[in-house]
Structure 1
Amino acid sequence: MNQHVLRRTRIAVTAGAAALLLAACGSDGDAAGGHGGHPSTPSSAPSSPSDPAAQGGHNAADVSFAQGMIPHHRQAVDMADLAATRAGSAEVKQLAEEIKKAQDPEIRTLSGWLTGWGQQVPAAGAADHSAHGAGGMMTAEEMDALGKASGRAFDTAFTRLMIKHHEGAVAMARTERTEGASPEARRMAEAVIASQGAEIARMKALLGTG
């Protein structure tokens, strides 16, 4: 009888000790959850697509590239729009359509980068004219003359002006490739160098100067 009571007492003591141990562990877990229970949340939270950190970072050269290329591309699209109704050559019309198709999406991409980087996106319209003459961009007078030309005269003027325009873009892209930090911006620069370089050769062939 005494042995039976002793055995029950030992079982009760053991169960009580286990309960105390579990309670202590639970208390420690609650404390971790209450203050430092989620210490890794900020660093493990997924970055948004526009987060510069998610894009590998950027520097001033990337910002300059994006802010300069947006008005540059806008003017190329404006020139391409003229070709739809004023060009006489099917080859020039096709080239203009390809330029517009390539550069319209790049404008949106560049604008998205600037927004994600907390930088100003160049305003459309009057702000674009501030860069005229730089990077191969057309002056207001050149754009006006192009808009008044038609047929073969338009084709020749468009091709010559677009060669100069593309050469400016390639120069900007080479600077970005050398000085930029954003992997995405540098990849676009590489694409600009390749695609617009090929279009320059194509336009020179149309002019018979290639």
Structure 2
Amino acid sequence: MKIERSLVRRTVAVAAAGATALVLAACGGADDGGSVGSAGHGGHSAAASATASPTPSASTPDARGGHNAADVAFAKGMIPHHRQAVEMADLAPGRAGSPEVEKLAAEIKKAQDPEIRTLSGWLTAWGEEVPAEGAAMDHSSHGMDGMDGMMTDQEMRGLRDASGEAFDTAFLELMVKHHEGALAMAETERADGAFAPAKKMAAQIITSQSAEIERMNGLLGEG
């Protein structure tokens, strides 16, 4: 009986030791699983963060430096438009019949020259092509004849050939039309653009050129 009891005790001890080993192994597995689970949770958190804060697509204004296609179109259209206005203004000295027209031409050039440089700088920063220097005189290449108030080659030749009162009348009439085209472009930018400085310039163009149109119409009325 003593031998049997001893055998039973040994069997129980072995079983208990095996159970302990199994428990320890299970705990180790739980720890390992916990680590994996933790990594899993970390991966889930990273995925959640990525979902919560998606990378902006290239089409969004923020990803493109705060500008959009309307801003690019505004800059690319206004540069040759302004260049032609400056070209027209440069004809006034020696041709204008009144000091008022010559003064107005000088003011137009003074206002639009810096804007051309600013618009060109924006396009360069955006990785866009700046219209070629001669674009304002090659309207057909842009399909802009008679559009946006741009002068045709014939109208520009007529202005170059005029002098005195004839020049004043032609300059004022053509510049009114030219300014009206700029106002339309600026209104589009103000409505559709995303780049704050461009929208601000558009608003300034609307204010200043509207005032100049009124002034030019007044000079035409006096004539």
TM-score by length of 2: 0.68
Query: C-alpha deviations, 1:133-191, integer Å up to 9, x for none?
Result: 21000000000000000000000000000000000000000000000000000000000
SS of the counterpart of 2:132? coil
State how many pairs are aligned.
Answer: 158
What 5-or-longer segments of structure 2 have no aligned partner? 1-60
Q: Deviations over 1:67-121 (max 9, x none)?
A: 0000000000000000012001000000000000000000000000000001010
Q: Is the 8 A contact 1:76 1:162 kept in 2?
A: yes
Q: Residue 125 of structure 1: CA displacement?
A: 1.0
CA RMSD of aligned residues (A): 1.8
- Cross-structure match for 2:89: 80
Shift of 1:129: 2.0
- Structure 2 equivalent of residue 116 of structure 1: 125
Q: Is the 8 A contact 2:83 2:136 kept in 1?
A: no
Aligned partner of 2:172 in structure 1 is 159
- The answer to whether the 8 A contact 2:149-2:179 is kept is yes
User: What secondary structure sits across from 1:61 in the alignment?
Assistant: helix
Corresponding position of 1:59: 68
Distance of aligned partners of 1:55 and 1:90 in 2 relative to their CA distance in 1, 3 Å threshold = farther
The whole-number CA distance in structure 2 between the counterparts of 1:156 and 1:127 is 22
Distance 1:104 1:159 in 2: 19
* Shift of residue 132, structure 1, vs aligned partner: 3.1
Structure 1 residues 173 and 126: CA distance shift in structure 2, 3 A: closer
Query: Which has the higher mean CA deviation after the structures are superposed, 118-127 or 93-102?
Result: 118-127
1:13-64 deviations in whole A, cap 9, x for unaligned? xxxxxxxxxxxxxxxxxxxxxxxxxxxxxxxxxxxxxxx9699600000000
Residue 137 of structure 1: SS of its match in structure 2?
coil
Q: 1:125, 1:191 → 2: CA distance? A: 26
Q: Which structure has the larger Rg over C-alpha atoms?
A: 2
1:96 matched to which residue of 2? Answer: 105
Q: Would you say the 8 A contact 1:56–1:183 is kept in 2?
A: no
Residues 152 and 165 from structure 1, CA distance in 2 versus in 1: closer, same or farther, beyond 3 angstroms?
same
Q: Distance in 2 between matches of 1:55 and 1:196?
A: 30
Say if 1:170 and 1:193, in contact at 8 Å, map to a contact too: yes
Q: What code does the residue aligned with 1:162 have?
A: M
1:171 aligns with 2:184: yes
Inter-partner Cα distance in structure 2 for 1:196 and 1:55: 30
Which segments of structure 1 move beyond 4 Å, counting only runs of 4 or more?
Answer: 52-56
| Preserved CA contact (<8 Å) 2:65 2:126 | no
Query: For 1:162, what is the secondary structure of its paired residue?
Result: helix
Distance 1:127 1:180, change over 3 A: same
Which residue is 1:208 aligned to? 221
SS of the equivalent of 1:125 reads: helix
